[in-house]
Chains A and B, each alone.
Chain A
């Protein structure tokens, strides 16, 4: 492509004062103007504060489980947490949940989206095995987009490698 362009330009070395093309002035989109914005969503992170979800958070061991670096297996401590979540969900059969999968910042962006999906699905599968209908569970991966701990250290990364269960109704 480069070669074509250059030779094209050089090929027309003529005596001329002509201006060839005149074309549209492209309008500039003002900052803040945007095309797709119905129902904005900056990502829920862990910020869902509905009364039902608040109740859920009070009555289970935790709404969050954690993972080792680049792992998505449910360890014994997480199992205990998810057992309490499953019991609550069995006792509230008309509720639905979203499970968010999150990663630390030490993976690449696209891989972390997939890893967050693995973590959310591992959590979903565990709850399903404890008798929660999979039809009540949706998953979403935020990859490394929504950390809860803001440092760049082992403690922060451990806190950010997580799956969060959120009751949505």
Chain B
């Protein structure tokens, strides 16, 4: 039975191919020259180079965090290349000049690089290794004043905006991996929604790591001005390599008064093989600042990939009546390790936060929820509701919940609920006795378990996530 369960969660990774494309890869190693090289390649202004160098110098004084419930060998930061870009002959004037090999790659991945009907009404910024290769619907978005594209481009075209907000939510010295990212980030998406504008389409970034022994360090910055709103989606895949690759991203969100940002992720980095060989180390800092009154930031994540996930999308609720939300499904199988959760920092009055976390562990994986709810003395009337559910498939995996609750205001209301369940032989027998086979039964149970999170996802993503989970868990029941 546990063999059947096991085979149900063990589907081959579909996105594990490598694109054969000529790339401009920086020599391995990390020092100030590496950083100057990246900055020079990107023709960055002096202040940004200074930002990087300051972060790097700070990083040198830090040690990697060891408190997470994950185990991995020490990373040799000198063995990684910090810049890799597909070689382009010159600057692209239009989509038609994008390398056809790249087009084929993203077509295979189901990412629309043409502004056509496949995913109508979603603008996509496509990032391949260290650079953004294309952004769709840019012109259309510009009509309403929205800036959407790669952060490198934004540095050139809107330096004042980038400079104003970069590092304001996640300071360059915030933590080990955030400092590293601040020093070496290569590309990422930038999105600016002006005052009062409701973004007419979903914005999306698709990240692809292609080159072996490259790290991907992208930096995403989203700013929603007063009364603006945007829904943003992020997807990611990587080829199969036997070595581990490092992905240390930083995402910063800023919501001003009455602004609303919804950030959804379906993370499907290569997770390593069934013996735990290879896979991405996904060490990511994501944080949103609800700066203005009545602002709202909502994180939804479906985490299925990566050998190791270390990630805590958080909300800092400064504006009065602001709202922070975190909806998460994290699935681990084989030897995957995930330590993920959120931080909700309540500062303003009547701030509210909701945390719904669903962890599913199969194989010999280890899945931990780690969350902090912090109510500061100023946060009168603050409320939090947390729900953390774990589901185990088979008997060799583990699930942990580490909730941290710091309340320093007596008027605050904090609720925490947790549960652990197991897909048991008896449940599967019950389904079977009604004619329903194990695969369908598991998919039904898992989707039922995750539905509170899935219904937060935009439609196309919800379909994608359901399929992905089905694939991921196929073969794990038995």
Chains A and B are bound partners: no
Residues of A that sit less than 8 Å from B by CB: none
B binding-site residues for A, Cβ under 8 Å: none
